[in-house]
Every structure is written in C-alpha cells, then in structure tokens.
C-alpha cells in the first residue's frame, strides 16, 4: 500500500537518527551544556565539549535576518500577483518566482561565496564578507518563493463574493485588500511565514558556504556564524562511526527534526483552523 | 453628479501608490535571479565547451572537465526516479481515489507535509543511518539515490494527486455506471487523462534531485573519482557536490571553473523546469473540460 509509505518514512527517519544519536543522548549529553554553552569543541583531545548555543544562535540569527528580508517582500509580491496583476503579467511573474525556487542550494551558496562576499567587503568596508548578512540575504531569497506561493494561494482562496460585497459598499481596491482579503486570508499568510521559517532553519549548503562557518555568538550582522545544519554537513565526514562526536551530530539532527516537525505541525493546524470555520 | 470628488481622487492615488509599491517588491524579489543568471553566463560561459563537458578533471581538479560528475548526477537521478515514482504515484492514487476521509488519511497528509519539511541534512543523516549502515549498501549510488528518493517523494505525491483530482468526477461516475470496477476506471479513464500532469511532476522532481547536495555528501557522492560508476554499488561524483568541492575545498582552481560548473548545473535544472512549465501551459490550453 503506497498510501502509508509517507508515514513509514517519516517514522523511519525519526527511528534511524534516534538510533544513532541515542547512546550520546543517554550518555555524554548534558542538557544544560547543550543549550547554554557556546563551546562546540567535539574534537578536543582532553576535554571535548558539546555546547550548541553558538550553533543555535547562528541558525537563529541567519534565519531571523532572512525572514526580515523575505516576509515583507514575499507578502508584497503575493499581494501584487494575487490581487493586482492580471492575465499574462501574472503568469510570467508566477513562472519567475518558480524559477527562483528552482535554483539549487549549492548554487546559492556559491553565489554567496563568489558574488556576495566581495560585494559586502567593498560596500561595507569589512574584512570578511561571509557573515550573517550574506547568509541571511541569500536565505531570504531562497525562502521567498515558497512563502510567496503559499501566501498567494491563501489570498486566492478568499471567495470573490467577499471582494464584490466590499466593492459594492464603495471600498477602493486597496481598502478591500487591507480590510477584507488580508483578514480573511490571515491564517494562510501565517502558515506561509511559518513554512518559510522552516525552510530557512533546515537549509544546509547555502548557509554552510555563505555564513563563514566560525563558531560565534553574533553581535552584529557582520559577524561570521555557524549554523546547526552546516555543522553536521561539515563534520560528519570526519568522524568515526559510533564515536561521541558522530553521535553528537545525530543528536543535532534529532533537534533539527523536532523543530521542523513542530513548525510544520503548527502551520498545518493554523491552515486547518480556517477550513473549519 | 458623476464628477470625481476629492476623496475619489485621493483614494485613486493611494491605490496606485500601493500597487506600485507591491510591483516594486515583486520586481526586487525576481531581479536577483536575473542578475545571478547573467553573472553566471558572463563568467562561466566562456569555459564551457565540448571538452569541458566530456573530459575528466585533471591536476587535482584544477583543470579538465566535468564528465564523471555529469554522468554521476544522471545515475543518481535515474535510480532515485526508479525508486520514488512508483511509490509516489501509488500513494497519490490511494489518497485521491481510495482514501476515506478519516484519521489515517489525515496522518498520511501530515506525514507528507513533514517529509517535505525535514531539512536536507537530516535526510542525509537518515541515509547514513538506514541505507549506508543498517542495510549495508555502503556509500554507493544506491544509498544516495534512495535518500534522494525519499526526500523528493512529496513532490511526486503532491503533483500526481493534483493532476488526478483535476480529472472531473463525472468521468469516473460515467465509467462506474457502465459497470467498470474502481481499478478499471483508474486504469482506463483517470490515468490516461492525468498522465501528462504526472509527467510534469516527475520532471520537476528530476530538477529538484539533480541540484541536491547535502543528502548525497555522505551517502554516495565522492569528492574526486576519475572513472565512471559501473553499478549502483559504486560511488560517484556529482555536479552539485563537485561545485561545492572546487569552490571551497580545492585551492588554485581557476576562477571560471566553478562558474562553469554552476552554469551547467543551473542550466540542467532550469531547462527541466522550463520543460515542466511549458508542458503545463500546453496542457492547460488543450484541456477540453
């Protein structure tokens, strides 16, 4: 039965990463160290430490900046495509947004490395261009298409009768959008933002290449940081199967899995909220 | 009586202003893609030649071409498709044609959404834990492709389900009234009417799969392998990983090279997308219902 395959796989993913990570979680893992220490030094010979705070801060700062850029622009684009554009313009814009979504993450990372990096150094006169700003900007562009598409879908799901009723009362198109369409589509828009956050959180290659990949608690957008995902990608190849370090990386994986799971679940519940009404 | 009042004029101006603002936002969102494509073509275009595409990398990957990576990506995508399309189409058929509206169906839908949302690096961890170690496939095309297959499964399921549901219900009812069974209806009415939509989804999956890097890094893709894979149990180079490697790990690579690799990779992906989009528009024009 193909139908349940998705359930089997999602449970399988959880089981297999937990299986590899569990010995660490039960043994070496200290919850206080993991969440409060910024020292991620798994390769230290005498005293390896597994503090993920700097990695969490890295992921959060990059995703946060990405959302600051992506949320207004994607919602604006969704409103334009959904409410203002018509006919051919609308089709072309939708296709272009799809193309934005099609660029592979490793290519985005390469763009961060080869185009954004020198640009940031020159524009802001800073020594290193691989930082929160670079990764956040790129991640914003990467998360924007999914947010635009879902936001536009939820604007489209608002029945035309709502718009007609408001227009019949003498409202201008802008008033209709602001007072009628957006409130009616609110849940879908929230879900769009949540899924964008989830996308930013989980992005690996682009963040690995554009963020500078140095362990740091960022104090400005010009600091280099290191993300949770990037840490796994960069270190897994160098660890021995079964070592503490290897299992610690799987523990980061469990953490990421749970966070994205919660984000997706929340988005789904929010969307279901409108359907029930 | 029908003259525009001051309020009308002001409202009209406000509306135009917002329209322009949103247009500007849309354009700013799309502009980077065009700039990026332009830069890639400008910097990477000159290096691309028949030689570049069909020879092996030389001198520690600082010279030569990308042939093994190109072939490797085709292997990875092909094996991933073989695994995910049958499962994905079966799942979509079940969800669209058979599934009752109950908690199991809701769970399946939720699982699909979550499968699509799991970070690619977590898929990679799963691939290592499950395929490389537990099933003992080792780091191989098989392990990498299966990881990719699971990761892109939601794309196939969602696209297939949508094109199945686009077939009007009346078609099915007409068929049932003739005494056809559910499966006969699917086989002879629903599938023929939706096959092109399913193909569009598959093409989209191909483009997604070709560009992925993180899931294959530890499951089957090799940094440098000057020969071509012979079976699914071999490791292979891949375009996406090759771009990562020569742009971050190898010193002394001439500047044009990673641009060339990026251009070929993005060319493959966008060409696939263009085919998929064109196909969809053609279908929409042809549809008679």
pLDDT digits (tens, 9 = 90+) for A3-57: 778 888 888 898 888 888 888 888 777 777 888 778 888 877 777 888 888 889 8
Distance (Å) from the alpha carbon of A159 to chain B's nearest alpha carbon? 20
What pLDDT shows up at residue A236?
87
pLDDT digits (tens, 9 = 90+) for B151-171: 988 888 988 888 888 888 888
Interface contact A107-B262, CB threshold 8 A: yes
Chain B residues 36-55 with CB within 8 Å of chain A: 36, 39
Average pLDDT score over residue span A183-204: 88
For residue A106, give the nearest of B86, B123, B243 by CB distance. B243
Domain A54-244+266-276 has CATH 3.30.450.20: no
Distance (Å) from the alpha carbon of A147 to chain B's nearest alpha carbon? 12
Grouping H, G, I as helix, E, B as strand and the rest as coil, residue A38 is coil
Average pLDDT score over residue span A61-76: 92
Considering only CB atoms, which chain A residues are within 8 Å of B266?
103-104, 107
| Mutant choice from A14, A142, A144, A205 vs B, greatest count of B C-beta within 10 A | A205
Chain A residues 235-254 with CB within 8 Å of chain B: 236-237, 241, 249-250, 253
What pLDDT shows up at residue A137?
92
Interface contact B211-A19, CB threshold 8 A: no
**A–B CB contacts, 8 A cutoff, strictly below:** 245
Distance (Å) from the alpha carbon of A17 to chain B's nearest alpha carbon? 6
Q: What angle do CA A89, A95, A98 make, to 5 degrees?
A: 145
Interface contact B125-A113, CB threshold 8 A: no
Interface contact B94-A1, CB threshold 8 A: yes
pLDDT digits (tens, 9 = 90+) for B241-264: 889 988 888 877 888 888 989 999
Cβ of residue B28 closer than 8 Å to a chain A Cβ: yes
Distance (Å) from the alpha carbon of B177 to chain A's nearest alpha carbon? 27
Considering only CB atoms, which chain A residues are within 8 Å of B281?
91
What pLDDT shows up at residue A138?
92
Cβ of residue A17 closer than 8 Å to a chain B Cβ: yes
Tokens, residue A21: 């990570």
Average pLDDT score over residue span A226-242: 86
Considering only CB atoms, which chain B residues are within 8 Å of A62?
none
Mean pLDDT score of chain A: 86
Chain A residues 53-112 with CB within 8 Å of chain B: 72-74, 76-77, 79-81, 84, 91, 93, 95-100, 102-107, 109-111
pLDDT digits (tens, 9 = 90+) for B168-227: 888 888 888 888 888 888 888 888 888 888 888 888 888 888 888 888 888 888 778 777
Interface contact B26-A110, CB threshold 8 A: no
Q: What are all long-range contacts of B23-29, with beta carbons under 8 Å and residues at least 24 apart?
A: B23/A80, B23/A84, B25/A72, B25/A73, B25/A76, B25/A77, B25/A80, B26/A76, B26/A77, B26/A80, B26/A81, B26/A93, B28/A73, B29/A73, B29/A74, B29/A77, B29/A97, B29/A100, B29/A141, B29/A144, B29/A148
Q: Taking the domains of chain B in order of start, what are their residue ranges?
A: 6-47, 50-286
Candidates A230, A33, A5; CA nearest to B124 is: A230
**Pairwise pLDDT comparison (A193 vs B1), residue with the higher score:** A193
Given a cut of 90, whether residue A66 has pLDDT beyond it is yes
**Pairwise pLDDT comparison (A49 vs A63), residue with the higher score:** A63
pLDDT digits (tens, 9 = 90+) for B118-152: 999 999 999 988 888 888 888 888 999 999 999 98
Interface contact B26-A80, CB threshold 8 A: yes
Cβ of residue B256 closer than 8 Å to a chain A Cβ: no
Assign residue A243 a region (left: φ > 0; alpha: ψ between -120 and 50; beta: otherwise): beta
| Mutant choice from B87, B114, B237 vs A, greatest count of A C-beta within 10 A | B114
pLDDT digits (tens, 9 = 90+) for B46-103: 888 888 888 888 777 777 788 888 888 998 999 999 999 989 998 888 888 888 888 8
Candidates A154, A61, A157, A150; CA nearest to A101 is: A150
Given a cut of 60, whether residue A274 has pLDDT beyond it is no
Q: Could you please report the per-residue DSSP string of chain B?
A: --SPPHHHHHHHHHHHHHHHHHHHHHHHHHHHHHHHHHHHHHHHGGG--HHHHHS-EETTTTEE--HHHHHHHHHHHHHHHHHHHHHHHHHHHIIIII--SSHHHHHHHHHHHHHHHS-HHHHHHHHIIIIIIIS---SSHHHHHHHHHHHHHHHHHHHHHHHHHTS-HHHHHHHHHTT--HHHHIIIIIHHHHHHHHHHHHHHHHHHHHH--HHHHTTTB-S--SS---STTS-B--HHHHHHHHHHT-TT--THHHHHHHHHHHHHHHHHHHHHHHHHHHHHHH---
Distance (Å) from the alpha carbon of A222 to chain B's nearest alpha carbon? 20
Q: How many CA atoms lie within 13 A of A162 on its CB side?
A: 16
Chain B residues 90-149 with CB within 8 Å of chain A: 90-95, 98-99, 104, 107-108, 110-115, 117-126, 128-130, 133-134
What pLDDT shows up at residue A106?
92
The CATH class for the domain spanning B50-286 reads: mainly alpha
What pLDDT shows up at residue A1?
60
Considering only CB atoms, which chain B residues are within 8 Å of A98?
273, 277
Mean pLDDT score of chain B: 85
Average pLDDT score over residue span A74-84: 89
Cβ of residue B247 closer than 8 Å to a chain A Cβ: yes
pTM for this one?
Answer: 0.88
Considering only CB atoms, which chain A residues are within 8 Å of B271?
none
Dihedral angle, C-alpha B165, B117, A85, A277, nearest 10 °: 70
Distance (Å) from the alpha carbon of A87 to chain B's nearest alpha carbon? 13
Distance (Å) from the alpha carbon of B115 to chain A's nearest alpha carbon? 6
Considering only CB atoms, which chain B residues are within 8 Å of A115?
36, 39
Considering only CB atoms, which chain B residues are within 8 Å of A240?
none
What pLDDT shows up at residue A109?
92
For residue A229, which phi and psi values (nearest 5 degrees)?
Answer: -60, -45
Distance (Å) from the alpha carbon of B170 to chain A's nearest alpha carbon? 24
User: Band of the pLDDT at A277, cuts 50, 70, 90?
Assistant: very low
What pLDDT shows up at residue B287?
67
Given a cut of 60, whether residue A241 has pLDDT beyond it is yes
User: Band of the pLDDT at A71, cuts 50, 70, 90?
Assistant: very high
What pLDDT shows up at residue A62?
92
What pLDDT shows up at residue A44?
75
What pLDDT shows up at residue A146?
87
Average pLDDT score over residue span A170-176: 83
Grouping H, G, I as helix, E, B as strand and the rest as coil, residue A49 is strand
């Amino acid at each position: 039965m193909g139908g349940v395959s998705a359930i089997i796989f999602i449970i399988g993913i959880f089981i297999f990463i937990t299986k590899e990570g569990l010995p660490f979680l039960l043994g070496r893992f200290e919850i206080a160290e993991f969440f409060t220490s910024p020292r991620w030094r798994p390769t230290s010979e005498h005293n390896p430490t597994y503090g993920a705070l700097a990695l969490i801060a890295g992921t959060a700062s990059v995703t946060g900046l990405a959302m600051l850029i992506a949320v207004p622009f994607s919602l604006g684009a969704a409103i334009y495509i959904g409410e203002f554009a018509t006919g051919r313009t609308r089709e072309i814009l939708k296709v272009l947004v799809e193309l934005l979504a099609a660029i592979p993450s490793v290519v985005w990372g390469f763009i961060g490395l080869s185009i954004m990096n020198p640009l940031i150094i020159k524009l802001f006169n800073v020594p290193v261009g691989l930082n929160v700003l670079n990764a956040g900007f790129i991640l914003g562009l990467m998360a924007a298409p999914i947010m635009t598409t879902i936001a536009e879908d939820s604007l489209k799901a608002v029945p035309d009768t709502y718009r007609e009723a408001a227009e019949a009362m003498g409202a201008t198109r802008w008033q209709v959008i602001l007072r009628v369409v957006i409130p009616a589509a609110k849940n879908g828009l929230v879900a769009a933002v949540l899924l964008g956050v989830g996308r930013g959180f989980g992005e690996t290659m682009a963040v690995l290449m554009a963020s500078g990949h140095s362990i740091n608690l960022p104090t400005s957008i010009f600091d280099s940081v290191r993300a949770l995902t990037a840490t796994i990608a960069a270190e897994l190849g160098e660890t021995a199967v079964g070592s503490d370090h290897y299992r610690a990386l799987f523990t980061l994986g469990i953490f990421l899995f749970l966070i994205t799971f919660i984000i997706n679940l929340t988005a789904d519940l929010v969307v279901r909220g409108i359907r029930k009404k | 009586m029908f003259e525009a009042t001051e309020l009308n004029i002001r409202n009209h101006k406000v509306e135009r202003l917002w329209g322009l603002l949103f247009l500007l936002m849309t354009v700013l969102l799309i502009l980077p893609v065009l700039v990026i494509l332009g830069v890639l073509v400008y910097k990477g275009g000159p290096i691309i030649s028949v030689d570049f595409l069909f020879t092996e990398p030389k001198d520690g990957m600082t010279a030569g071409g990308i042939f093994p990576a190109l072939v490797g990506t085709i292997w990875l995508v092909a094996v991933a498709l073989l695994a995910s399309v049958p499962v994905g189409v079966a799942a979509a058929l079940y969800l669209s044609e058979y599934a009752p509206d109950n908690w199991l169906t809701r769970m399946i839908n939720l699982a699909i959404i979550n499968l699509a949302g799991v970070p690619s690096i977590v898929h990679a961890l799963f691939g290592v834990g499950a395929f490389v170690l537990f099933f003992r496939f080792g780091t191989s095309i098989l392990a990498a492709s299966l990881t990719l297959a699971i990761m892109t499964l939601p794309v196939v399921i969602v696209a297939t389900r949508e094109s199945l549901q686009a077939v009007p219900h009346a078609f099915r009812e007409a068929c049932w009234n003739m005494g056809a069974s559910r499966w006969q209806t699917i086989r002879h009415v629903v599938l023929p009417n939706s096959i092109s939509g399913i193909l569009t989804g598959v093409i989209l999956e191909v483009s997604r799969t070709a560009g992925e890097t993180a899931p294959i890094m530890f499951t089957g893709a090799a940094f440098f392998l000057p020969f071509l894979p012979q079976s699914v149990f071999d490791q292979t180079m891949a375009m996406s990983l090759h771009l990562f490697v020569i742009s971050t790990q190898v010193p002394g690579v001439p500047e044009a090279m990673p641009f060339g690799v990026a251009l070929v990779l993005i060319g493959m992906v966008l060409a696939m997308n263009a085919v998929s989009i064109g196909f969809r528009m053609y279908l929409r024009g042809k549809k008679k219902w």
